[in-house]
Structure 1
Amino acid sequence: MDIFKFLNLSNYNKRAIIGGVIATIFTGIGAFALGNLSGYEAKELIRSSLPGFNTLCNTIVLASATILALLLTLISVSSGSKSKLNKSHYKHIILIAKIDTVVFVAAMIIFQFFNLPVTEADNVPSDWYTYIYYATLIISSILSGGLISVVLMLFNAVVSIIKVVGLDIEDHPLLQGDDENND
């Protein structure tokens, strides 16, 4: 995949992003399993699913903020280690932080947007409800896939640190002197 070469991603990051994309696709399939909805049906489904959607956004915001804090701990452990880690490790952490921040900001903005009482408005055309409902399903799939990618990338970083710091693996690609961009 050329996009991975362009982004200069390690194999672990590629797998994590592919895992997030697969999760997005599987959760998004539910949107198309419902078939066509009328505006009234979509309005009722929005009313019943909006609390769950808001909870999902809140959970993603909380998880993303927690992951950013965990990254600080990961950096502390990394720099406090007697082993000298190469730059690819820190680039990996920066990438996790960037993607996590995008997911955080997107979830916060989307949460605010979907807190508007659209189902209570009288001047919204009924066919818009169908689009709004499908948008919530697609957006929730994308946010979930993004968070899954971040968690998988964080998992890879933690496993690598455990191997280097905790298990003293001396030939790990993270150790300084090895110029590979793998974790």
Structure 2
Amino acid sequence: MIKLTTYNKQALFGGIIAALITGGGAFLLGSLSGYEAKSLRTSSLPRINTLCNTIVLASATILALLLTLLSVSSGTKSRLKDEHYKHVLIIAKTDTIVFVVAMVVFQIFNIPITEAENVPNSWYSTIYYVSLLLSAILSGALISVVLMLYNAVTSIIKIIGLGISDHPLIYEDESETNNKKY
């Protein structure tokens, strides 16, 4: 198990808050009858599919950006601590999970369940709320990934672009440490 840094915890917290807000808005509608839920699911399906497509595209783009981030990280004069690379690894793992889940949810949502005749109307309200819940979770997960990526990029900007030499992700040279003691 990889230990989460403060930055990762903040990003995950931000994603959870976003998921709760987006998911909570859907539940403010109150309870729906099966027919209403079937109608709402039919009308919301194109938007949910668009959301899943956007999340898949964003996740794939973020994975490509991580390669660039690693290239820039390895090209710096400063030696970065393992924590930076573990942070990037967590971003990559989380992003890959979001990518896969978004693809699976997209495929599940494209099952023409509203056109099936043997599905009881009472199931549609559950199907509708599950689809809203999955959409909220996927949105929150992508927000977490973007916040984690933001934290990694700002650290690299501070180290490389601004030349901050006492950043917590930079190894301190042992000879400099010994010279400071004397």
**Shorter-chain TM-score: what band?**
over 0.9
Paired amino acid for 1:166 = G
- Pick from 31, 34, 37 the counterpart of residue 32 of structure 2: 37
* 2:165 equivalent among 143, 163, 170: 170
1:112 to 104, 107, 120: 107
- The whole-number CA distance in structure 2 between the counterparts of 1:7 and 1:29 is 30
1:20 is aligned with what amino acid? G
Calculate the TM-score normalised by the size of structure 1. Answer: 0.92
Q: In 2, Cα distance between the equivalents of 1:107 and 1:149?
A: 15
1:98-141 Cα deviation digits (max 9, x unpaired): 00000000000010011011111111111111011001110000
SS of the equivalent of 1:37 reads coil
C-alpha distance in 2, partners of 1:146/1:32? 19
SS at match of 2:24: helix
SS in 2 for 1:145: helix
Q: Number of paired residues?
A: 173
2:130 paired residue number:
135
Q: Deviations over 1:115-169 (max 9, x none)?
A: 0111111111111110110011100000000000000000000000000011110
How far the C-alpha of 1:31 sits from its partner, in A, is 2.2
Structure 1 Cα separation of the partners of residues 172 and 121 of structure 2: 63
AA matched with 2:82: K
Q: Which residue of 2 is the match for residue 145 of structure 1?
A: 140
Structure 1 equivalent of residue 74 of structure 2: 79
Secondary structure of 1:175 counterpart: coil
Q: Distance in 2 between matches of 1:52 and 1:7?
A: 35
Task: State the partner residue of 1:65.
Answer: 60
Structure 1 residue 23, shift from structure 2 partner = 0.3
Structure 2 residue aligned with 1:126: 121
The one of 84, 88, 98 aligned to 2:83:
88
> How far apart in 2 are the matches of 1:177 and 1:35?
57
Amino acid at match of 1:126: N
Structure-2 residue corresponding to 1:49? 44
**Structure 2 residue 152 is the aligned partner of structure 1 residue 157:** yes
Alpha-carbon deviation of 1:48? 0.3
Letter in 1 for 2:10: R
Match of 1:10 in 2: 5
- SS at structure 2 position matched to 1:98: helix
Structure 1 gaps, min length 5: 1-5, 179-183
1:78–1:85 CA contact under 8 A, matched in 2: yes
Larger Rg: 2
Identity of aligned residues (%): 67
Q: Which amino acid aligns with 1:55?
A: T
Write out per-residue CA displacement over residues 51-96 of structure 1, whole angstroms, 9 at most, x where no aligned residue: 0000000000000000000000000000011111110000000000
Normalization by structure 2: what TM-score? 0.93
What letter is aligned with 1:87? Answer: D
**Paired amino acid for 1:118:** I
